[in-house]
Amino acid sequence: MAGLLLKSIQRWKSSLRVGNFVNLGGLSSNLLISRSTSFFNKLPAEDIWRGVTAVSNAGKKRGRGKGTGKKIAKDLNKGQAIGIGKKTCIWPGLNAPIIRGNELLHQQKQSENIDREKNIQKIRDSMGNFKQMKINPIDRGWSGTKMPGRSIGPPDTVGEEEFTSFDTFVLENKIVFIMKGNMGRKRRYSVLSVTGNKNGLAGFALAKGPEVRTALRKSKNRAGQKLMSINLYENRTINHDFYTGFGKTKIFVSKKPDGYGLVCHRALQTICKAIGIRDLHAKIEGSTNLQHIVKAFFIGLMRQKTYQDIANESCLHIVESQMARNGYTEIKASPHMDPKNADNDRIIDFMQFTLGNKIVLRKKSVPPFYAQSMGYTKHEIKKERFRNQANVRLHKLVNNYNYNYT
């Protein structure tokens, strides 16, 4: 009897792996052991249908399935109701109550609707064409209807705190893949966004999610949790020129007068729009990786120095000459110690001091091939009288006089 019970237990243990019916040593009850999860209840219906109807990666490389994302299946149930068809009927429990008072309802016929088929066919024909959603030109991104460059609103409220004055812009939206042992290649969406109040307070974040909306929401809220305070000059530009870099990316940022605008990379323009910078010039050298550009620019903004800090380090007076105000000079800061007692071994050029002795690479303008011809020289001489530069005009006249009498 003990041997029989031992064999029954072994058979029952082995059945746990295969999920079969088993009889426990002559007992009358049967047990069914099965897994509670499977491939079909791990994923939602949308992912399963996408795996069946989508095109493989090899097919995408060969150009197949280009219009699969734009086509929308017709909803054949639209415009129809239970019990209303070619032969309209009342179905107790579906389109009519079963009991009306003390009377039990039975199946009945109603008057025929002749135009029913025409109306349904008209609704289906209107659903056939795919209409692309139009976006206001002000709300457009960098290129067409794609997400990078578009505004997605302020971060979500946290308790009683609201981000009413903030606005979030998408900088990068791409598809990434991760490899799973049981699911294979799994697609996810990566979103990089920046949020700011346009008054010197901004932050950026990178988030991933299985769906685009999930990744956008996570990135937007995460950027709101990582805000940084940035010091601005006159609430419109940076304090001084600076050099910054991250990885293989190098950025030379220059301070510009009022009304200059934003002359820089489109990602830097979007970041400046979120921060509140209106006048700036930036040149990128090396890699144009978007994440490196964003990180390098924020590092440079956080490393800015005030005029007083620069004056204390250089032991010099900081004087600004404003060309827009006819050379008006203004003292911005003075050092705490006497400049006479300072060492002579110091950097005098303010631009090189703020750039960290880095020199911006500027391309030399190549003169055209006809620059040395006689016709082009005469053209410059004739054009010079329309310019309000007396010294240059006089120099041209002297050269022309020497050219004619030599």
**Which residue from 201, 277, 276, 288 is spatially nearest to 251, judged by alpha carbons?**
288
Neighbouring-strand partners of residue 174: 190
Judge whether residue 222 has pLDDT over 90: yes
pLDDT tens-digit profile of 290-322?
A: 999 999 999 999 999 888 888 888 788 888 877
pLDDT band per the 50, 70, 90 thresholds, residue 341: low
CA 147, CA 169: separation in Å to the nearest integer? 9
pLDDT at site 393: 59
Residue type, 141: G
Residue-wise pLDDT tens digits, 122-175: 887 776 655 666 777 777 889 877 899 999 999 998 888 888 899 999 999 999
Q: What digits encode the pLDDT tens for the residues 179-198?
A: 888 878 889 999 999 999 99
Q: Residues 121-129: contacts with CB within 8 Å, 24+ apart?
A: 123/78, 123/79, 124/74, 124/76, 124/78, 124/79, 127/72, 127/74, 127/75, 127/78, 128/74
Using the predicted structure, report yes or no on whether residue 403 has a pLDDT greater than 90: no
Q: Which amino acid is at 121?
A: Q
Q: Residues 111-121: what's their mean pLDDT?
A: 82
Radius of gyration of the CA atoms of the chain, in A: 37
Using alpha carbons only, what angle is made at residue 333 by residues 331 and 337, rounded to the nearest 5 degrees? 125
Nearest Cα to Cα of residue 68 among 125, 17, 130, 122: 130
In sequence order, what are the residues at sequence separation of 6 or more whose Cβ sits closer than 8 angstroms to the Cβ of residue 198? Answer: 165, 167, 273, 274, 275, 276
Residue with tokens 């974040």: 205
Residue 275, judged by CB atoms within 10 A of its CB (0-12, 13-18, 19+), counts as buried
Give the per-residue pLDDT at 229.
94
pLDDT of residue 21: 43
Where does the pLDDT of residue 251 fall: very low under 50, low under 70, confident under 90, or very high at 90 and above? very high
**Bridge partner residues of 323 (DSSP):** none
Average pLDDT over residues 72-77: 69
Confidence of residue 344 (pLDDT cuts 50, 70, 90): low
Q: Is the pLDDT of residue 406 over 80?
A: no
Q: Which residue has the tokens 């799994």?
A: 186
- The pLDDT score that the predictor gives to residue 383 is 76
Q: Name, of 11-25, 141-155, 214-228, the range with top average pLDDT.
A: 214-228
Instruction: Give the C-alpha separation, 135 to 132, whole Å.
Output: 9
Those residues with Cβ within 8 angstroms of residue 342's Cβ, 6 or more apart along the chain or in another chain: 315, 316, 335
pLDDT at residue 397 greater than cutoff 60 = yes
Whether residue 228 contacts residue 302, with contact meaning beta carbons closer than 8 Å, is answered with: yes
Average pLDDT value for residue range 257-272: 94
Domains of the chain: 145-229 (3.30.160.20), 242-354 (3.30.230.10)
Of all residues in the chain, the percent with pLDDT exceeding 70 is 78
With beta carbons less than 8 A apart as the criterion, state whether 241 and 354 touch: yes
- Is residue 401 scored above 70 in pLDDT? no
Strand, coil or helix: what is 32?
A: strand
Tokens encoding 271: 């970041």
Cα gap 172→193, rounded to integer Å: 7
Which tens digit of pLDDT belongs to each residue from 30-45?
444 555 667 667 777 7
Q: Is the pTM here over 0.95, yes or no? A: no
